[in-house]
Structure 1
């Protein structure tokens, strides 16, 4: 979903940028005399009094302007609220087998997942972040792999052992995870 949201954000930003660019070009065109009414000096206005007050006596003008502005503000607020909240999950409920429950800190599960994944052969460093909602947590992992690591094996072990243990220990039926792998770049050292 975040890829779709990212694409929509880019398209909307491009459209807003294009509208602003065209509006700026129109103002520059009117100011430089390229359009039908040349701008004659610093005390001149781009729109004459007749152009500015042409529709003010009609009954539809102000309701149309206010409706358009309300739609623009509503769309901007909707867009702002639709953005993802990239927050860490502070705590979430764990269902105990005895019918009770407990609250688990999100950082505690992050540290356990990172420590468990760091034990995999070929993994140099792991960063884990727990996100989502308290009822449906998700995990994001960044694994730094050593040069001899086999990514397919690491992903199988990550899903088969590390995330399964995390799901079991936290009492979660599922724990969706996104793992990003990157190679560790080591500096060359001179041997003398």
Structure 2
């Protein structure tokens, strides 16, 4: 969303600057000058496509603005996870603590150089996104099996979660090219 926000602000800023420049340029010729003459303003009114086109364009702009506003309000991270206990009250586990524990467990696996975990979803049904950077000697299938058994299963058990759906993205570690001699 940061990229979308920056692009949206850039386009909006460019449009406002272009509009301001147009007003400045037309205002220089005479103080009574207008941006659009009467002939320019009424030119398209008699065309059949004009009003449906204007309404469709404005509708798209309103829908895009609503979409953007809703994405700004959406929570990006899961702040806490509800841990079920024997009594009905339950307990709360910080999402950042679970993320840090999962990241540390994942980084300790053989063949993993870096790991990043992001929790999202609902506090009673969290989901995890895991990004792993693998070393050149890592075996992806073995690494995924180890991640499940040595990181995800203990996290589910300690948090009392019956399920922890996880999306894993693997990437190879970048390294410089070797020269042949």
Deviation of 1:73 after TM superposition, in Å, equals: 4.9
Unpaired runs of 5+ residues, structure 2, are 16-28
What CA deviation, in whole Å up to 9, does each residue of 1:15-54 have, x standing for no partner? x9xxx9xxxxxxxxxxxxxxxxxxxxx6787865245247
Q: Which residue of 1 aligns with 2:71?
A: 83
The alignment's C-alpha RMSD in Å is 4.0
Q: Distance in 2 between matches of 1:111 and 1:55?
A: 61
SS in 2 for 1:83: helix
- Shift in alpha-carbon separation, 1:78–1:46, aligned structure 2, 3 A: closer
SS in 1 for 2:103: helix
- The question of 1:131 aligning with 2:120 is answered yes
Q: Which residue of 2 aligns with 1:150?
A: 139
Trace 1:83-122 onto structure 2 (pairs within 5 A). 83=71, 85=74, 87-122=76-111
Q: Distance in 2 between matches of 1:64 and 1:150?
A: 58
Q: Which residue of 1 aligns with 2:164?
A: 175
SS in 2 for 1:103: strand
TM-score (norm 1): 0.59
Deviation of 1:70 after TM superposition, in Å, equals: 6.3
Q: Which residue of 2 aligns with 1:31?
A: none
Q: Distance in 2 between matches of 1:99 and 1:146?
A: 45
Q: Distance in 2 between matches of 1:50 and 1:144?
A: 63
- The question of 1:162 aligning with 2:147 is answered no
Q: Distance in 2 between matches of 1:185 and 1:161?
A: 25
TM-score (norm 2): 0.62
Deviation of 1:148 after TM superposition, in Å, equals: 1.3
Unpaired runs of 5+ residues, structure 1, are 1-8, 21-41
